Amino acid sequence: MDLAVLKDLAWRAMGTRISHPGREPGFVYYHGQRVAQIALQLRELIFPGEDSLDEVILVAGWFHDVGKGIEPHWEYGALVAREMLKDFCTPDELEKIVEMIAGHTLRKQREYPSYVQLLQDADILDHFGSLEVWLNFYHCASHSQGVDAALQFYAEEYEREVASVRSLINFAAAAEIFEEKVCFVRSFVERLRREARGEIVWDQKKAKD
């Protein structure tokens, strides 16, 4: 596959598109770029040296949300990707990419090959951690809401969301990364909550050191 051509194709399809409310233009493109890289890093971590499908994983990551905005986006996206990519991939590569796109949200609904599971976990991981904070803040700002709305989400909805997603992760390594991301967000939100009340959060000992 000519990855430069396919990356450009992904940009032309998604680079400036507003896929759904509360997301910046091009969100699905940049999300796809990150998910692809996360999936490759997970592959190397969990299946070191088994790189024969790396290009397939990369391209599937780039295009996994190409159908976003028309639901069910994973089914529509698989159809769109099949048509878009048919002249750029071998038949086997295309079938695997389409399989990954079609299955990326259907976690734990059947036994998926490891390359599909890698994309599923990478998609989850990109929605948590510092990028999740950004998504929450952008959503609030685009709806003319302030910091109180963001804090309300973390107080009332965040832990339920974490619990519902945690059980869908396939690999132990991805689960560990997920927990680290959640711990970071909890720590950040606690500091935000205090500073939003006008508190000075200051560790004098650390400052002197």
The domain segmentation of the chain, as residue ranges, is 3-107, 130-198
**What is the pTM assigned to this prediction?**
0.93
The CA-CA-CA angle for residues 127, 133, 109, to 5°, reads 20
State whether residue 191 is helix, strand or coil: helix
Among residues 73, 84, 83, 113, the alpha carbon closest in space to that of 96 is found at 113
pLDDT > 90? residue 123: yes
Residue 105 has pLDDT above 90, yes or no: yes
CA 185/CA 135 separation, integer angstroms = 12
Answer yes or no: is pLDDT of 208 > 80. Answer: no
pLDDT of residue 205: 67
Lowest-confidence segment of 66-75, 80-89, 196-205 by average pLDDT? 196-205
Burial 5-35 (b: 16+ CB within 10 A, else e): ebbebbeebbeebebeeebeebbbbebbbbb
Q: Is the pLDDT of residue 177 over 90?
A: yes
